[in-house]
Chain A
Amino acid sequence: MGSSFLMRLPARGFSAAETSLTALRNQMTNTLSDSRHVQNAGYQLSSKPKKAPIKIRQPAPSLLPKGSEPKQLLEQKLTSELDPTGWRRQLFQRSSPLALRPGDVVRVHFNSETSHTFVGTIMAIRRRGLDTSVRLRSEVAQLGVEMSVKVYSTSVKTFEFVSRAVKKARRAKLYYLRPDEKKGK
């Protein structure tokens, strides 16, 4: 600071007041406001043109109604197709007044030409919507035969109610009707 500053003092005589601190400060500010002492950034902020915003298209609505599950939709559709009159639902829905119960005897009529019917006691009703099946047991020529019938199958013509259970079965699945294996031996 020393020599360079002194060199910038005006070449004239100084009074005592001028050489005081305030005079020096004034000199300093005058000197400092000189444009030569202002520090430039060294670069220029360029004004780039802003990029065009990306055009975002709206999606089309889904074919499925909002909040619906395709499995549910298809099950409803197929149930109305396979069971238009609703007799299957009447026989196998738990709450229906005509509902079949385990222990009842039922005759199944098939669409096949070779095997027309099967009579048996209802051992179990497996309720799974379209996959509902019923397990029937009977003695055919002294041989125990069990048959699992898909209720909504197109090969099933009808279920004919034969007789109600003598005594209400105390459970849903009557696997105890099967003979004990140990007793014979």
Chain B
Amino acid sequence: MVVSRVVATQRRALLSSAALRRTVMGCSEFRSSHTTSTSARPDIPTLSEFVSSFTTRQIEEPVVTNTTEVHTSITTTIPIAAAAPGHRRFKRSELPLPVLFDSPHAALSRKQLPKRTGTIAFKRGMMSIFDENGVRIPVTILQIDRVEVTYVKTLDKHGYFAVQVGAGARQAKNVTKPMLGHFSKAGVAPKKTVAEFRVRDESGLLPITQEITAEHFKEGQFVDIWARSKGKGFSGVMKRHGFSGLPASHGVSVSHRSAGSTGQSQDPGRVLKGKKMAGRMGGDYVTVQNSKVVKIYPEYGLVLVKGPVPGPKYAAVSIQDALKKPDVE
């Protein structure tokens, strides 16, 4: 005896075109549940009917009996909102409603993101190589050292798609217990650095413990690289903002490298906000876009990238497919 489930169309019936227009287009009129059935209009739902129409689903379940014939059936109401996985904030209503401008779904559709995940690499210095035409190319050596996926973020649970990746190795005694637990849960050894890379959709997600090697990138492709730049400490205005300073002689007293004037006179009578002055320079995130991957050495896990890369030697650096170039693969 075949048991078949038939999803009742009570919801659809309730949300007929007229009823839908009325409820969605802003009519807040609901049939009062206290009115008598004779004066009530059956097409306008009560508030409880309206709410239950999209929070519950009615299933006609055939009653299993000892006899071969199955005619009787019972209808059970099950909640449908609870069944869908993910955070309540990120779930989309099953109703044919327009996507709100401020929702995570709309934000994701607007955002420009690469298709594939990126990886963490360690900057290991610079050198130069010669191409087949004899042209010298200055390159930065980036080492992709034991990079594994440690976590995955999805639209349902987190509101966006991302791959979290860990690189390097660190002694367990130097890793905090929360992080040790995180790595243990992921099934990887304790890593030195962890970073997240946003991807466009599910196709860019990788399974946890998947290793990312130098072969993730292709020779000749373009990448975006971001890292914390070298710290310059408390820098003067000439270094920090490229001011010209004052003449070295001709009566200039003591202010050879100063900024000079910081504003006008009584109007506005104050120094404007954002005035370029001396202060801490460096140590902030810098992105270099469209760097070319010149050569890959998979046996050493090295990627040679044309030109300089922010940050000091041995620093962790994030690389991902260039946003402004066509998708790779």
Q: Which residues of A contact B (CB under 8 A)?
A: 54-60, 62-64, 69-71, 73-75, 78, 82, 111, 130-131, 150, 152-156
Which residues from B are CB-within-8-Å of A70? 124-125, 141, 143, 300, 302
B219 to chain A, nearest CB (A): 15
Across chains A and B, which 3 residue pairs bring their CB atoms closest together, nearest first? A155-B134, A59-B169, A59-B189
Least CB separation from A78: chain B residue: B129
13 A-B Cβ contacts within 8 A? A54-B184, A56-B190, A63-B301, A64-B143, A70-B125, A70-B143, A70-B300, A74-B127, A74-B297, A131-B128, A150-B134, A155-B133, A155-B134
In the bound assembly, the distance between CA atoms of A74 and B180 in angstroms comes to: 35
Known: A54-B184, A56-B180. A150 touches B136 (CB 8 A): yes
Q: Is the CB of B180 within 8 A of A63?
A: no
In the bound assembly, the distance between CA atoms of A64 and B300 in angstroms comes to: 6
Q: Is the CB of A152 within 8 A of B141?
A: no
Interface SS of A by simple majority: loop
State which size class the interface on B falls in. 20 to 34
Q: Is B299 an interface residue (CB 8 A)?
A: yes
Q: Is the CB of B146 within 8 A of A59?
A: yes
Residue B145 contacts which of A55, A62, A75 (CB distance < 8 angstroms)? A62
B67 to chain A, nearest CB (A): 53
Least CB separation from B182: chain A residue: A54
A156 to chain B, nearest CB (A): 7
Q: Is the CB of A130 within 8 A of B128?
A: yes
Q: Is the CB of B146 within 8 A of A56?
A: no
Q: Which residues of B contact A (CB under 8 A)?
A: 124-125, 127-136, 141, 143, 145-146, 169, 172, 177, 180-181, 183-184, 187-190, 297, 299-302
Q: Is the CB of B134 within 8 A of A156?
A: yes
Residue B130 contacts which of A55, A69, A152 (CB distance < 8 angstroms)? A152
Residue A54 contacts which of B124, B143, B181, B297 (CB distance < 8 angstroms)? B181
New A-B contacts (19) at CB < 8 Å, excluding given A54-B184, A58-B189: A54-B181, A57-B184, A57-B188, A57-B189, A60-B146, A63-B145, A63-B299, A64-B143, A64-B301, A70-B302, A71-B124, A73-B300, A78-B129, A82-B130, A150-B130, A152-B130, A154-B133, A154-B134, A156-B134
Q: Is the CB of A130 within 8 A of B127?
A: yes
In the bound assembly, the distance between CA atoms of A106 and B22 in angstroms comes to: 93
Known: A59-B146, A63-B299, A111-B134. A69 touches B190 (CB 8 A): no
In the bound assembly, the distance between CA atoms of A69 and B124 in angstroms comes to: 8
Residue A71 contacts which of B134, B141, B146, B299 (CB distance < 8 angstroms)? B141
In the bound assembly, the distance between CA atoms of A69 and B184 in angstroms comes to: 30
Q: Is the CB of A74 within 8 A of B132?
A: no
Least CB separation from A71: chain B residue: B125
Which residues from B are CB-within-8-Å of A156? 134
Least CB separation from B175: chain A residue: A56
In the bound assembly, the distance between CA atoms of A131 and B137 in angstroms comes to: 11
A77 to chain B, nearest CB (A): 8
In the bound assembly, the distance between CA atoms of A58 and B132 in angstroms comes to: 42
Which residues from B are CB-within-8-Å of A73? 300
Which residues from A are CB-within-8-Å of B300? 63-64, 70, 73-74
In the bound assembly, the distance between CA atoms of A150 and B135 in angstroms comes to: 10
Which residues from B are CB-within-8-Å of A63? 145, 299-301
Q: Is the CB of B134 within 8 A of A153?
A: yes
